[in-house]
Amino acid sequence: MNRALFLSVCAFSMSLACTDSRRAPTPPAPPPIDSGKTDAAPPDAGANDAGEPDAGLADAGTPAPTGDGGSACSAQGLSPTPSPANPPLPPAVDSMRRRIVAAAVACDYAALAALGDEQGKSLRFSFGADEDVARFWRQAEQERGEPVLARMVKLLSLPYTKQDALYIWPTAFRENATAQDFEALKGIYPDAQLKAMQRDRSYLGLRVGISGDGDWQLAVSGD
């Protein structure tokens, strides 16, 4: 091969090498290694999957509602529903009777006082100068040991009598009360006390009176 031809071949070969070098693609970057972690912010510790506050944390400092009822009294555990009246009472009278029983069984002195004042401050509960019926009955129960609320509940399930405009419990309070009227009070008052009242023909125990329009007017013991 002559010199001119050799130089020509070399020049052509070098040209191809340069061209292939310019067209060679850049190799792709290697993919990132997965470490198992994400950049997302951690969920709120006080929320559940639905985004709502955790039930164990909600309302933790909210106090339970309170009221006058709930403390122990002699009527606790008795039925809050009195026996059906026979003969039936006027609806307003029976409604008041049932509400008195429910409040007494709940040991709710404030509710009893409110029932007594529902149609005006007319409830007679003492022959003295006492003006606060809730305090009077609370002291009778807790300080003097008198089961006034239990007696009230039991009396309002007994037969009643009527005097003028008042429906009154028990029937032993009426004139010419019978031995049966006093017999109905067994378990409410001691036998010796019942015999003494029957002998004297004078019932001095608790009596409850409700007017025909449902006004609670009487809940008093004594002469």
126 pLDDT exceeds 80?
yes
Q: Please name the amino acid found at residue 213.
A: D
Tens of pLDDT, residue by residue over 57-110, are 233 332 333 345 557 899 999 999 999 999 999 999 999 999 999 999 999 999
Query: What proportion of the chain, given as a percentage, has pLDDT over 90?
Result: 63
Q: Report the pLDDT value the prediction gives residue 69, as an integer from 0 to 100.
A: 53
pLDDT at 172 over 90: yes
pLDDT at position 11 over 80: no
Per 3-state DSSP, what percentage of the chain is helix, strand, and coil (rounded to 5)? 35, 10, 55
What is the average pLDDT score of the chain?
78
Looking at 64-73, 106-115, 168-177, 183-192, which range is the least confident one? 64-73
Q: How many other β-carbons are positioned within 10 Å of the β-carbon of residue 97?
A: 22
- Written as six digits, the tokens of 68 are 């006058």
Q: Is the pLDDT of residue 25 over 90?
A: no
Q: Which two tokens mark 216?
A: 């609670």
Which residue is listed with tokens 């429910």? 102
The pLDDT value recorded for residue 223 is: 76
Q: What is the pTM of this model?
A: 0.69
43 vs 70, more confident: 70
